[in-house]
Structure 1
Amino acid sequence: MHFADRLNAAVKRVGTPICVGIDPRPEDLPPEFLDKFPGDRPGVAESLRVFGDGVVDVVAPLVPIVKFQAAFYEAYGPEGFAALHATAQYAQGKGLLVLIDGKRNDIGSTADAYARAYLGKVPVGESFEPSWNADGLTVNPYLGSDGITPFVKVAAREGKGLYALVRTSNASAGEFQDLIADGKAIYQHVAQRLAQWAEPYRGASGYSLLGAVVGATYPDQLAELRATLPGIPFLVPGYGTQGGSSKDVAPAFDTDGLGAIINNSRGLTYAYSRPAARAKYGAEWQAAIEGAVHEMIADLAENTNAGKLRTPTAE
């Protein structure tokens, strides 16, 4: 099934477009959580796996998709990678779509190898087997068509999705993305080319398998890009801890409340660290995460078209 169609179906099923970002940092885990594991690298990696699984247990009934930031797992080497793979598989087993945030990019056969690693299959003996088997992957488009086409081909073949960086949420994004070339900002050129790449790969929902990463911290550009990129699914980081609000992300949606997933990482998975959450939930860190997800669901429903997704079965 086409990635965008699967994602839209999942969003409609749960009635919210929230993407929970799982970015585990040992120093930010719940109090005394690390004490339960050996104090070596394998032990820390195991704590990341157990924490990630615990987050998945909470959010699986509530949201359609989770996003794993690969860097926080890569930091702990092979054991960290194993933890990422295990929790990603666990999340899929719970019915969630899984997006790996690795911002991969290269050209030719190397790009094809990245694509097959995360989205496709690799030759093993006389058969082909999936390695990561993610549902989607973030990619960097700044090597041009040579760096995107191999990913798109694999994603199309395997029913997977891609999100290319267009207008990112970080403070220094404008250092390059806002530079003017031939009368337009660089991010506008990227968006224009992205639309061309994405057009042949639309699903029954009208949305392409190739989407755009557009930050909530630049709401004017977000609104502009939504208007100029119909049929391009958005991954919107920057809500919550980075300062983006529900009103900032509102332009990302189409009239039916589809077309975008809103990522929240620290604001959800570390909700237990907020004083108000500690006062309300005490040491019940999973309850704090669940409460934060419900708060975000309500916020998006009240202030964006995502409210149209809230059917009686999704309440």
Structure 2
Amino acid sequence: MGTSAGQQPKALDPFGIRLGEAVDRFGSVCVGIDPHAALLEAWQLPDTVQGLRQFCEIAVEAFGGQAALVKPQSAFFERFGAAGVEMLEDVLAGLREMGTLSLLDVKRGDIGSTMAAYAQAYLSDASPLRADAITVSPFLGFGSLAPAFDLARRTGRGVFVLAMTSNPEAGHVQHAMWGEETVSGTIVDEVAEANALARADSYGDVGMVVGATVGKDIADLGLAERLAQSRAPLLAPGLGAQGATIGDIGRGFGPAARLVLPATSRAVLSAGPDVAALRQALREVKQQAAALRPPAALD
């Protein structure tokens, strides 16, 4: 894998359109690249930069050109310092070279010039860390994310906003009331507004992160229909290792299930390090997930 930071990227179509085309071709599953220590050990690789490089080269070979969206988790690269960040640059470049959309899981969220700098780091055409989309946190106020939305719109990239995460601590904040609405409900409405001008037959460019395990919360808060109307691609982590199934997503998300991108990392990565075995594990998840998105699901 080689970096391409010196090349002038060509103009990109809007992210939602590119994502829809990728889902039509490869299915809706988002597969992660999470090189944490336990997986390196399971693959009989050292927990070193060299082990990280071998892990990433195998993962990019296995998933590039096979999935609609590949999600590297930045933290597992950052733990190696500068060499790890350089490896993350190589992973993103390798996915670009294979024509595979990348979603960089960084969960950034800040205010003013700091948020603008984060946007430049991951959404600018000139950045070696540029991805097709990133995850962001709205909990300093939805408006604080404006620099990321603005730059993503100009460069044809996407932004996935944390809305309803599956960790047990989340409800204390995300289900809190803001006036007559929950914080999560407010985020859903803000994302829907951001996607109001999206092409009718495509995803919007602004997505949400909604855990695959929070179906009961979606029902209790009455958010299923509003999620469906948001046109947001719904990244749903928690499939497999965290206990969620495709059936759980179908039942919990209701009419919004057609927008879900089921996200899996360990459940597929545990099949490594053999490339063929990794691809087979991904195929099996994609076959299961096909039921969530019937033909013409976005019409």
Q: TM-score range by the shorter chain?
A: 0.7 to 0.9
- Deviation of 1:52 after TM superposition, in Å, equals 1.6
Corresponding residue number in structure 2 for 1:227: 225
- Deviation of 1:307 after TM superposition, in Å, equals 5.3
Distance 1:153 1:197, change over 3 A: same
CA distance in 1, matches of 2:63, 2:54: 15
- Deviation of 1:31 after TM superposition, in Å, equals 4.9
CA distance in 2, matches of 1:32, 1:183: 50
Corresponding residue number in structure 1 for 2:5: none
Once the two structures are superposed, what CA deviation does each residue of 1:282-303 show, in whole Å capped at 9, x if it has no partner?
Answer: xx633332221122122122xx
CA distance in 2, matches of 1:268, 1:253: 25
Asked if 1:180 is matched to 2:198, the reply is no
- Deviation of 1:51 after TM superposition, in Å, equals 1.1
Give the residue type in structure 1 aligned to 2:117: A
* Partners of 1:17 and 1:258 within 8 A in 2: no
Corresponding residue number in structure 1 for 2:80: 76
Give the residue type in structure 1 aligned to 2:164: R
CA distance in 1, matches of 2:254, 2:122: 28
Q: Superposed, which structure 2 residues align to 1:131-210 within 5 Å? A: 131-200=128-197, 202-203=198-199, 205-210=201-206
SS in 2 for 1:132: coil
Corresponding residue number in structure 2 for 1:28: 39
Out of 105, 111, 118, the residue aligned to residue 101 of structure 1 is: 105
Asked if 1:300 is matched to 2:298, the reply is no
CA distance in 1, matches of 2:278, 2:223: 31
* Partners of 2:20 and 2:202 within 8 A in 1: no
Corresponding residue number in structure 2 for 1:218: 214
Asked if 1:9 is matched to 2:6, the reply is no
Q: Return the index of the structure with the highest Cα Rg.
A: 1
* Partners of 1:177 and 1:187 within 8 A in 2: yes
* Partners of 1:23 and 1:68 within 8 A in 2: yes
Give the residue type in structure 1 aligned to 2:115: A
**RMSD value over aligned CA atoms?**
2.3
Corresponding residue number in structure 2 for 1:115: 119
* Partners of 1:254 and 1:305 within 8 A in 2: no
Corresponding residue number in structure 2 for 1:261: 261
The number of aligned residues is 279
- Deviation of 1:205 after TM superposition, in Å, equals 3.2
Q: Superposed, which structure 2 residues align to 1:250-289 within 5 Å? A: 250=250, 252=253, 258-272=258-272, 285-289=274-278
CA distance in 1, matches of 2:130, 2:294: 32
Please give the TM-score of this superposition, normalised by the length of structure 1.
0.81
CA distance in 1, matches of 2:61, 2:107: 26
SS in 2 for 1:292: helix
Please give the TM-score of this superposition, normalised by the length of structure 2.
0.85
Corresponding residue number in structure 1 for 2:8: none
Corresponding residue number in structure 2 for 1:87: 91
Give the residue type in structure 2 aligned to 1:242: Q
CA distance in 2, matches of 1:133, 1:253: 34
- The gaps in structure 1 that reach 5 residues or longer are 122-128, 273-283, 310-315
* Partners of 1:4 and 1:205 within 8 A in 2: no
CA distance in 1, matches of 2:294, 2:284: 13
CA distance in 2, matches of 1:6, 1:175: 35
Corresponding residue number in structure 1 for 2:64: 60
- The gaps in structure 2 that reach 5 residues or longer are 1-12
Corresponding residue number in structure 1 for 2:6: none
* Partners of 2:152 and 2:158 within 8 A in 1: yes
